[in-house]
Copies of this chain bind each other. A is one copy, B any other.
Amino acid sequence: MQILPTALSELIEALGALPGVGPRTAERYAYYLVRRPAHTSQKLADTLMNLHSSVKYCPKTFALIDADVELSPLYTDAKRDKQTIAVVAEPFDIMALEKTNQFKGTYHVLGGLVSPIDGIGPEQLHIRELVQRIDEDDVQEIILATNASVEGESTALYLQQQIGTRTVKVTRLARGLPIGVDLEYADQITLGRALEGRQIL
C-alpha cells in the first residue's frame, strides 16, 4: 500500500540525498514545501534548474564564479594583493576567510585535499596552476589555509615541499586554543600546538 503520493515520495528521496539529511528531516522539508504556496517550491526549482549553467570555476583561482565573468572578482579587484595567496581546499572556505575581514590577498582553491583513502592524489588538485601563479604574479607569500585535519596537514606538507624550493614565503594558519575555550577542555594535540606556537608578549 502506498501511503504517500508519488510526487511527495520522490521529493523526500531527492531531499534525502543532501548531506546529513535523514528520512525524517527530508519528510519535514517536503511537508513544509507542500504546505507553502506553490511559488516557494517553484523558486527553489528555478534556482536548481539554472545552477550548473550559471556557475563555473574561475580558471585562475578555481573559486566558484558567475558563468558570465572571466575571472573571480576577488582576483581581478585592484584592491586585492595578488602577491599574497591563501590556499584553501574548497570554494566555500573562501567565505570563511572573507568573513574575518582581515585578508586582502587573493585565493587559490585546490579542489580537495590529498587523501589516499579516497583515492585523491596531489595530481588531482590544482597545484600545477598554483605554481604557475607564483611565477606569473610574482607571489611573495603563500598562506596554507587548509583544515587542521590529517588530510589538511599532509596536503600542506606536500605543498611546502613543492613550493619550498622557490623564493616565496610559505606560511600556515596558526594552531592553538580557539577563542572562548577553557584550557582544561582543549585536547592535547591542540594544546601541544598552542605551546609550540607560543608568542612573546
Contact = CB atoms under 8 A, between A and B. Distances in A.
Interface of A: 1-8, 10-11, 14-15, 17-21, 25, 27-29, 31-34, 38, 40-55, 64-67, 73-74, 77, 90-92, 94-95, 98
Given A29-B18, A31-B91, A73-B2, A7 B51 contact: yes
A157 to B, nearest CB: 25
A14 B44 contact: yes
Give the dominant DSSP class at A's interface: helix
B73 A31 contact: no
A38 B54 CA distance: 11
A7 B74 contact: no
A41 B48 contact: yes
A40 B18 CA distance: 10
B19 A64 contact: no
A15 B44 contact: yes
Contacts of A31: 90-92
Contacts of A1: 73-74, 77
